[in-house]
Amino acid sequence: MTHKKGEISLLFVGMAFIVAVVLAILREDTLSRSIALGLAIISLLGGIFLYVRIVFPVKKLRKNITKFNPARSVEDNKEVYLNIYELYLKLSEKQKRNFYVGVTQVRDTVEEQLRAEKRMQQSLDKTEHGDIAQQKEAYENAYTHYQKLPEATKQQYYAQIVHLREKLENGK
């Protein structure tokens, strides 16, 4: 269902709710009043269902995309992206077109952070083997990838990078 049709549906359900409440108030006999109240409850529940299915995911997705912070740790960003993507999948095809660029940018940022962390980890593993020149080259490679990491993740690897640098400087 498109966003426009969803708004029209919500408007229709809202009007049905108001009409049912007015009928319940104006009717004299109990049976008519009960039917009108039943219709009011059904239309209220329908309105809530439409809001949750149509309007809420769009608002929540927009909020999550704008609040995405690449400076958080890689794991936090990965979790945020998975939440964004889950909301994205709930949208209609027309709505997905509106959010495609934002979701793709978030995904690209997270993928780059994950690649940088993995490459840094591989380079750090290489520093355990080989002669001083190979270890220094692996350290420089690891440091290059370290600089691409978000601040929160850098803090996790800071001690390891400093220790390795001191080890290589003392090994000269």
Q: Measure the CA angle with vertex 12, ends 7 and 16; round to 5°.
A: 145
Cα 153 to Cα 132: distance, rounded to the nearest angstrom? 27
Tens-digit pLDDT profile for residues 90-129:
888 888 999 999 999 999 999 998 998 888 888 888 777 7
Same domain, 136 and 77: yes
Last residue in a domain, options 54, 77, 98: 54
- Please check whether residue 14 lies inside any domain of the structure: yes
- Whether the Cβ atoms of residue 109 and residue 76 lie closer than 8 Å to each other: no
Residues 86 and 10 in one domain: no
Do 151 and 86 reside in the same domain of the chain? Answer: yes
43 lies in the same domain as 85? no
pLDDT in tens, 44-94: 888 787 777 766 788 888 999 988 988 888 889 999 999 999 999 988 888
Alpha helix locations (H) across 27-150? 30-50, 56-66, 74-89, 93-126, 132-147
Domain count, the chain: 2
Q: Are residues 103 and 81 in the same domain?
A: yes
User: Is residue 89 located within the same domain as residue 131?
Assistant: yes
Q: Tokens representing 172?
A: 């000269």
The label of the residue with tokens 């997705």 reads: 61
Range of 143's domain?
68-172
Note the pTM of the prediction, 2 decimals. 0.65
